[in-house]
Every structure is written in C-alpha cells, then in structure tokens.
Structure 1
Amino acid sequence: MRKILLSFFMLFAIMSTVFAQKLKVESFKLASNDITAQSHPRKDLNNLNCALVKVGIALDGVKFDGSIMGDPIQKLGEYWVYMPKGVSMLQVLHKNYTPLMVNFYDYDVGKVESGMTYILTLSKPSGSTEPTDAGGNFYALTVNPKNAVVTIDGNQQTVSTDGEYSAMLPYGNHTYKVEAGGYISKSGSFTISSSDMTPINVSLVSAMATVSVTCPTPAVSLYVDKKSVGTMPWTGSLKEGMHLIEAKKDGYRSQQRTINLSQQQKLDVAFNELAAIQGNLSVNYKPFGAEVYIDGNKVGQSPHVFNGIMVGSHKVEIKKDGYGTDSKTVSILEGQTASLSGVLTTNTSSSVASGASSSGNTITIPVKDGISIDMVRVEAGTFTMGATAEMKEPYDDEKPTHRVTLTNDYYIGKYEVTQALWQAVMGNNPSSFKGDNLPVEQVSWNDCQKFISQLNRITGKTFRLPTEAEWEYAARGGNKSRGYQYSGSNNLSDVAWYTDNSGYKTHTVGTKQPNELGIYDMSGNVLEWCQDWYGIYSSSSQINPTGATSGSDRVNRGGSWLYDARDSRSSYRYEIMPNCRIGSLGVRLVFSE
C-alpha cells in the first residue's frame, strides 16, 4: 500500500511539474518597416485592415484566444494572428503549458493599429521537452492558380494568398481536391509518414473560353456583364455560359451582343462602327471674327452655328487679339442647339507668382538644383462632395453627400511629390521603393509639415497640404468634371496604379492618363495626406470647409498601389495617425495666390 501511495505522489509531482511550465515573452514591438499586414491583409468587421501580430515560437499546436479575426496562420517558426484595431491583449494556449496572457501595455505597445505589423517573440522554459514522435507530420501542397480552393480529407483549408498550403496530419493515407472558378478541378491522394514529404504541385488546366473583341471606332470601352474590362481591341478569358458584351464610348450609341460560350472555346466578336450622338452650338460673340475653340481645338469664328458636336460637356473659349478670352462650359444635347453670346472685354493680364513660369493653367516653380514643382490652377466652384451616384459601393463615412463651395482659386500639384523633390528639400529619402521620379512614401503627416516649412523657406511661397474638400474637388476635375467614378476616367486602369496592375510597388509619377484638369495619379500610386482631422460628414451645405476641429487621425485620399478599385474612387476616405509612416502613403501640395 505504501508503494502504491508513493507512486501516486511521485506521478502527481511529475504531472504538476509538467503542467506548471510556462511560456515566456522575450519581446513585443511594432515592426514599422514590415508591411505584411498590408500586402497580406485581412479585414475586420468595419472593413478596415487588421493589425498583424507575428508570434515567433517553434512549437506546434499553439492556439490563441482574444479579439482575433479568423484562424491564425502557422508559418515556419511563427504564427500570424490578425486582430482588429484597438485590441490590447492576447492569450496564448498550449496543452503542455499554462495559459499565457500578454498585455500589450506591458511592452509600451498599447492598442494595435489598423494595417500595422507587430512582432511577439516567445520562448519555452529551459529544460522543457517535447514528445519524440507527434504521431503525424506535415503535408505540403503548392497550387496554381494561387487562389484555388484546397480541400484535404473533405475539409476546406485556410485561404492562402501565395498558393502554398501546409498543415500537420496523422500518419497514413489522405486525399486532396483542388478547385478554382474557370478551371478543371483535380483530385489525388498522398501518404504521411515520419520522413520528409516531397511537396505536391498541382496546376489546374483552364476551362475558360478565349474571346477576342474588336471595333473600328477608336478608344471604345468594352463591358462584360455590365463590368468594364478595358478598351478594344480586347482579348480575355471568360467562363462558360452566357455573357452580355457591350461596346461603349462617351458621345456614341452603344452596341450589345449576347454570346454563349462552352469550355475552352475560342470566339472572335466584331462590333460595327459606333454612331456618334451629336448636337449643335450657336456662338454669337462680339467683336465679329473672334476665334472659337472647343475643348482646345479651333473650330471657326463668331458668329456661327457649329453642327455635329458630340453630346456632353465641352469647354468653349472665344478669343481675339487685343481682347480678353471668355471661357464657358456648355452642355450639348442630342439633336438640340445650345447657344452662347456675349461681348469680349479689352485685354487684361494676370500676374503669376514671382519666380514662376506659366503655360496655360499650369505654373512651374523652381526649387533648387534644377528641381521644380508643376502646379495646376483649380478655379473656384461648387460641387457635391461624398458618395454621389457614380461612386459604386461607397463606405458609410462617405455619406451623407453635401454641397461644398470653394470661393477661391488655388493651385494643386500636377504630380505627387517625388523622391527627387523631397531629397532636394530635406536632404534625405525615407521611401521604401527608391527612384527619383517615384512618389515619396514612408512620410508621416508631421514629416510633411516639416517638409512644407523648409520648402516655403527655399521658394518664398506658401505651400500647404490640401483640405479634404480641395482634394476631392480637384480629383473630380473641378468645374471641368465629367462625373467619372475615378479621377479622370471610369476605367481605372487608364488613370491609376492599383492592386490589379501595380505589381505591388509604386510607379513613376505621371505615367497614366491625367484627369480633366491635367492632374496625374489622384487615383492610385500612393495615398495622399490632407490637412484635415478625420471626422464624420454633415448633410449641410458648407463654404471652404476645413474638416473636424480636432481628432486622433488625419485624412488621406486617393487609393494606392496596395488598394483595390473600390478604394480608388474620388470619394474614398481613409484615416491614419499623423505620426504614422507606411509605404503606400505620400503627399501632394497646394498653394493659393
């Protein structure tokens, strides 16, 4: 009996020792240069990017509890845990160790921020042991396309953005199935043993049909099932079944076709030339013989009726030597004649900022070492700010729409501030992606204030950040706006570098098409700081608004190389703390005369 009791107490002592083992926090800190949370994002319930906590520990079977989004992802030697903004605690669980509660305030981190990456390093107690055989091993599966759905033994696996899947399985035979829309699925089996496993590579064969579409009218946009896919000629892949294809161009009558595709079919579709929709314009200005320009092209002299003008909004200018130029925006309707009349005044000249050269509505201001800034004039006006009808899938903070009047003309940067300009002013380049003509990034709102102060000392001008209203008015094209969803087009790839075409990096400024005012990259490339504190909208009409009176975050606008089409619309808003620096956020300048 004594032996039994002695054995019982020894077993109890051993079990107590095993289960008393604790994991230890070696360090916990913000990884400010790690953009994994942005390049491999996961959204929280507010549709913001989660914070990513990389938990470093070489231990299988670790679980996590707390305010986390979705299942953690196990990587080699670490776990990726996604958490919404504002969380400050995480519990670490393992069957061989007592639970560990990590309070972020204990390590001067506090609450985690959206889109930021943190490193939590844990260690096991010295002398701890692991089972010599876990009864299983890892499988490794690589798939193409990378977004394929993988099922192991009938269980769908956690989504992988890199096309690589791995998890621990018990010894024995297992099955897999790989599926993806537009591809022929593939199934197979594999065996798990204690020896190393050769990774299984599965490449699915496309089941998509190939369609080529042409139209003799130039620059015609193609829509497939009501979604823009680019301009013609176009060749792409479509799923089997019926599709509606449309040829569209502003000022022309659209054409539609319905096609019915089978798997791996090749089909050529040719649209007829689109018919222009036209109206007329009557111009009766004095003095007689004044030259008439429509959208920058000379069309004749006043008085005259100009027939066959495309429907839509046009800029009309009436000019004559010795007289001032009169500029009007006119709307041409189908089959109708719009009228303009007036009298030109004697010529007046306007001065440009000292030291600057002028061309049209653009001025160039020298800075130093051959570096200069091109600024575009934005005329005062009234517009509807926020989620207007053309803005598809708006977020709640873009509502309600409200009328805004800007009473003063101002100049805004033709391009985002480049690394060459930042280097010339500040003597350093903080950017992640290096290149003189790439937009500067990794600059906080506070950094931008220092940059502007130094720039003003060098140039003698008064540069500043745009207000949120000034930014959106310019992005929409000011008083030349044609009502596009993005800045300069309804076809995002024409005007922006974003997730679908950026290759996850910035690009040289001004390489896409400009908007109606001649401003580049107001959609995509990098987000741009605004002066305003971030706040909610009011439905009331406003004059020269400057945003919330206080707050914790500053507004930034315009989408970026890391953001999708929804986040590239002209009404899209985002907010970040003013001391934050990320590789997708830069700056554009304004100044007023």
Structure 2
Amino acid sequence: MSTVFAQKLKVESFKLASNDITAQSHPRKDLNNLNCALVKVGIALDGVKFDGSIMGEPVQKLGEYWVYMPKGVSMLQVLHKNYTPLMVNFYDYGVGKVESGMTYILTLSKPSGSTEPADAGGNFYALTVNPKNAVVTIDGNQQTVSTDGEYSAMLPYGSHTYKVEAGGYISKSGSFTISSSDMTPINVSLVSAMATVSVTCPTPAVSLYVDKKSVGTIPWTGSLKEGMHLVEAKKEGYRSQQRTINLSQQQKLDVAFNELVAIQGNLSVNYKPFGADVYIDGNKVGQSPRVFNGILVGNHKVEIKKDGYGTDSKTVSILEGQTASLSGVLKTNASSSVASGTSLAGNTISIPVKDGISIDMVRVEAGTFTMGATPEMKEPWDDEKPAHQVTLTNDYYIGKYEVTQALWQVVMGNNPSYFKGDNLPVEQVSWNDCHEFISKLNSITGKKFRLPIEAEWEYAARGGKKSRGYQYSGSDNLSDVAWYKDNSSSKTHAVGSKQANELGIYDMTGNVWEWCQDWNGSYSGSSQVNPTGANSGSDRVRRGGSWFYDARGCRSSDRGSDTPGRRSFNIGLRLVLSE
C-alpha cells in the first residue's frame, strides 16, 4: 500500500558558517583521507533520514543533525515518513559545492500548524520457532501457547530478551531491539539434545529392550534422552545380555553385544514304526528312534510322519540340561480317517450341518508371528502397541467364510439380522448369542467349534505362514478384499464376494466385525506362547472392521471391543475348530 504525503518541509536558509570549526574539531575523513565538510541540518524532528553523497551515518544532536559530506558535493536529500522528500540544491542558495573541513548551516522548518502524529511508544516483535510446540519466554514472561510456532505481541521501544525451550532440545536465548521501523522476524530453530545410540549383535532376530520396554529388533538405531539407561538383548531360548549406558546431550554411542548363548536341552523320540520322520517346528531333523541334542529351551511343536500312516503332533517343553521324551505308535491311514461326514480337500474341510448346509474351514498351520502395530500398519492406535512376538503351537481350522444367515437359521431357527439374505453374514448377534449358537451347533455336528482367540484371528488374517506382509487381510488395496465404508453402500454383502487372503479365507477385513473369545486387555511387549488375552474384563474383543468403518479400522492389527451382550448390525462371527 502506498503512503500519501500531505505536508512538505521547507528550507529557511543554507549558508557557510565561516567561524564554526566543528568540521575540524570533530572531523570525519572522506575516501581521499581529507576532512569532510559538515552540514548541520537544523530541524526539531525525530526520525529524519538523509540520502546523497554522505560519509557514514548522520549524528543526531539536540534540534539538529550533523551530516558529513566529501568535497565537491552540491546536493542533499532529506527524508521523513510524514513529509514529502525534500531535495536541497546548494547552488540555489549561493553555496555551490562544499569544501573540505568547512561547516555549513542548513535550516529547515515544518509547515505552519502541522503537528506530529502521536507515536505509539512501541511496536510488534515477531518470532518463529521450531519445534512448533516450544515454550517461548519474552523478558521473563511466558507467552501464550502457539500451535503454528509463530509469536507476536506489542512491546515498548528498546532492548528485549527471549528464551526458547522444548523437551529433548537445547534451549536458546537472545535479545532484539524494538523500534518504529519494520522488524525482521527472528527465526529460532532448536537443536536436538537427544543422544543417538546404535546397537548390534551377531545373533540374528534378537529383541532389544531399553529400560524394560521393547523398542524393536537388533540392529537398531534410535534417539534416547541424556542420563542412565538399561539396554538388554533378548531372544527366546538364549541367555540375555545387559548393558547400562550413561548418555550426555547429543552423544553418539555404539553398543555391541556379544553373540547370545543358546540355552539347550534334548529330546528323545521313540516311535514305531521305525524310520518315521521327525519334524520340530516344521523343520525335519531326523528319524525315530533317536535322541536329538541341542534343542533350544521353550515350547516346540513336534510332528512324527511316515507314508501310509497318520501324523502324530505334540507340543513339547524343553528344559535346560534335561531330556524330554516322546514315544508312541503311528496309526495306519485306514484307522486315522476323517470323522464320518467330513470331506477333505487339501488344507480345507467341509463339515455338514443339516438341510444341505455345511461349514467350509481352512487349516492354519502353527507358527510364530509379530502381533500388533508392525511397520506396515499405518496410523496404529495405542491399544495395538507394543508389537510383540506370538507363537501358536497347534494347528487349527478357521471358517473360510463368516457365519451366514442360512447357517444361523438352520441351527437356531431364527434370523436376527438387520440386512436379510441367506448368503449375507449374520449380524445383530451378541457374544453371548454366539456361544448359545456354538453350543447348539456342536450338539448337531458332534464337533467342538468355538470363537477364535484374538491371536489366532490376527495370525489367520495376516496369512499365517504364507503371509506377504499386507496391511489388510490379503492385500494393501482395501477395495480388493473388503466391503468397507467407501464401497459398501452402507450395507453388508454376500460372503466370499471379494478376494481371499493368502490362506484362502474371505472377508477377514470388512463386511462385519467378528467376535473373538478373549476379554479385552492391553498388550505386553514380551514374547508369548498361545496367549488367551486378559484374565477378566468388561468387554470382549471383536476384530476385522466392517462395512460401516473406514480403512484405518479395517487393518489386520486394528482392535475393537464391546460388552458381551451388545448387538449391532455390523457385528457377526467366524468359527474356529481345533484339530
């Protein structure tokens, strides 16, 4: 915006002061090392500026300004924010060019009747900080919190101090001056005070704990506050190692653990017929009868297999320095056939119920996985943390599809669903309703169906041993595998109408939430074997998101919960059958 000037300064006189020796007694040199001429500009006005061939900054005195000029200059411009710029031509006043070491008097006047605008006595300061949540103190007074990291306020003219502080950063202090001129904003970027720690260990897949909390796996690099910390390297079946470190601000420290020492025991396997293959945790280790030495302590799944015979599967606990024993006789295939009425097709089974309705189930092989907020799970909620290792030691079967309304109807003789359709998932069923349904289903089929444990549900949703690390069950493209808020048209859809996940299971993401057996509770960072959730609580777990939820609620690690009696048009169930 341009400024409109309504007033002009006036030259009253300009002359040589031949008896004034100030230019000699208070000299200032020009570029030729000669004394400058001194022009004393008489005007009772603050904030006057001068432009032209002048040497150095003018000096403001009481009622006048001293302006130094080199020999031969004949013009001077006078500037003030409230007046039109004034150009003084020395020839107009009979002076011409100024001489070295001579003093001149230029007398100016303001228009009659003019008054100076009242000065506010102060101006704004402007301060920008990073990080934006830093605490700012001006002249010892803490400023109102700013969400954008920018601060400004009116301050009186003069010198002022600031201090900027933030947790994990080195504070910074300084000063600035407030005047009537524009102020250049002060930018203060704090430097992190955190120390950087890098941890290595030659043993693979070792978990790292800092101050008793899991922070990930080794190798690991991260930031820690100054002070003492306990650093631990842990792996199931191995002896842990600990280091205490004392960090200073901005220190860089490398922590190298030695190779972890395995804690081992032995396993004796004596099965007939001789020559049966022995598998430990899915890996073939030899044939029976034999003693297998040097097995890591902990729970292991042991399978004994031989062509023409059924497989015997056991969970064995190996203790340090001790020998566990397994013995038995494998049954021939003829005597280990599938129960009457159950048909096998690879890793799937189909169990008839009645009236032509059957239950298709998919086998999930036992294994170990990381449960919770793994890196591919974007924007995890706090109840998904910490991510932790879970081992499931037994195979199990899980429903290929969510329980349909047709299946519920044939077992219960009713259909409580809001959206009706035989092949739609049943909904508006509480956790308690589901257990009544399962009890009747087991009476009809002679099987032992149940709700999945939360860890079983997530392991199957992630694809079990065939997992490809997707964020949703079967894909990173949610629309490929799920009916959810953005594509469901606000209703459920026929089960199995989207793509299956890696195990051939449908709709574990979206369509309807699925009740799990567990009480809802917080995660622990420690490794777990066959976890069953909290011991008690008020809510039961539900998993998988629904047609009513957005993408964040459909991730395989997302957790939901409700009271056991709650019914909703977006909550159903999926069945599990233990081997």
Structure showing greater Rg: 2
TM-score (norm 2): 0.43
TM-score (norm 1): 0.42
